[in-house]
């Protein structure tokens, strides 16, 4: 395995440096996911440290209204089904907000496999259906934070199945501040899995790295704005 690849399975051990602030790689055997469990053909995983609290990172990911300002991979999302009467059990995970991803939400996203989703005039590569399968607090094995996951829709289980998991775990930052250890992985299975790996595996590694970079840069830019006296 590449020595710069993230550890397997995902952990909250330090994994970034000035030289490699973001890691992204394809790993085999695949990492288990909530809906489909173990198995599959391969996983794409990316990790970074973000200068924001886990709840802030989760909110940015859930608020699809913001995607067009930072998400170069999937800048657009159309929610097709949601559940606005869900009970809010965590003040950091509000429910029923317009354009936000809630548990059970179904949506369609625009995918730009060249990572140029924010470049004017560029066309999407395809659309992808998804359904939110997890939206929960993490309080396990010394970890504290949040988890969101979604599975791909539109294919039969035996043809192609995928599920993406994003974990945001609280870690100590400089000067007593709080940062987020961000880990994202997606596992692919089904008879089309090997073909996906062969055709676009390397692109997926690049795009997952872009997604981590985009999140990191969004909060770095906001921090710089505050330091410069901007809201």
**pLDDT average, residue stretch 16-20:** 51
In whole angstroms, what is the distance from residue 142 CA to residue 12 CA? 10
The full length of the chain comes to 231
**pLDDT average, residue stretch 7-31:** 65
CB 207, CB 32: distance < 8 Å: no
In whole angstroms, what is the distance from residue 80 CA to residue 110 CA? 14
**pLDDT average, residue stretch 146-158:** 97
**pLDDT average, residue stretch 150-173:** 96
β-partners of residue 164 are: 150, 186
- What global pTM score does this model have? 0.88
**pLDDT average, residue stretch 37-66:** 96
Kindly give the pairing relationship between strand 42-50 and strand 76-81.
Answer: unpaired
- The candidate with the shortest Cα–Cα distance to 146, out of 87, 198, 79, 101, is 101
Domain-by-domain residue ranges, the chain? 22-227
In whole angstroms, what is the distance from residue 121 CA to residue 112 CA? 12
CB 21, CB 2: distance < 8 Å: no
Q: Which CATH architecture has domain 22-227?
A: 2-Layer Sandwich (3.30)
Considering only residues 111 and 175, tell me which one the structure prediction assigns the higher pLDDT.
111
Q: Is the pLDDT of residue 39 over 90?
A: yes
* C-beta atoms surrounding 100 within 10 Å: 19
Q: Quote the radius of gyration of the chain (alpha carbons, Å).
A: 17
Q: Is the pLDDT of residue 128 over 80?
A: yes
């Amino acid at each position: 395995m590449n020595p710069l690849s993230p550890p397997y399975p995902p952990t909250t051990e330090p994994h970034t440096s000035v030289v490699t602030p973001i890691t992204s790689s394809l790993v085999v055997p695949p990492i288990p996911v909530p809906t489909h469990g173990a198995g599959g053909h391969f996983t794409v995983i990316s990790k970074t440290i973000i200068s924001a609290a886990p709840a802030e990172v989760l909110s940015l990911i859930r608020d699809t209204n913001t995607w067009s300002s930072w998400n170069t991979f999937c800048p657009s999302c159309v929610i097709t089904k949601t559940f606005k009467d869900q009970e809010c059990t965590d003040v950091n995970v509000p429910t029923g907000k317009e354009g936000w991803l809630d548990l059970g939400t179904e949506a369609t996203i625009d995918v730009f496999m060249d990572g140029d989703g924010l470049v004017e005039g560029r066309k999407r590569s395809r659309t992808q259906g998804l359904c939110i399968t997890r939206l929960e607090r993490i309080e396990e094995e010394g970890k504290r934070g949040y988890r969101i996951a979604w599975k791909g829709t539109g294919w039969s289980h035996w043809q192609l199945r995928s599920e993406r998991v994003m974990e945001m775990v609280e870690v100590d930052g400089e000067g007593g501040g709080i940062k987020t250890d961000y880990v994202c992985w997606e596992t692919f299975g089904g008879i089309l899995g090997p073909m996906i790996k062969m055709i676009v595996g390397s692109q997926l590694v690049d795009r997952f790295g872009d997604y981590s970079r985009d999140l990191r840069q969004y909060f770095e830019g906001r921090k710089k704005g505050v330091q410069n006296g901007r809201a």
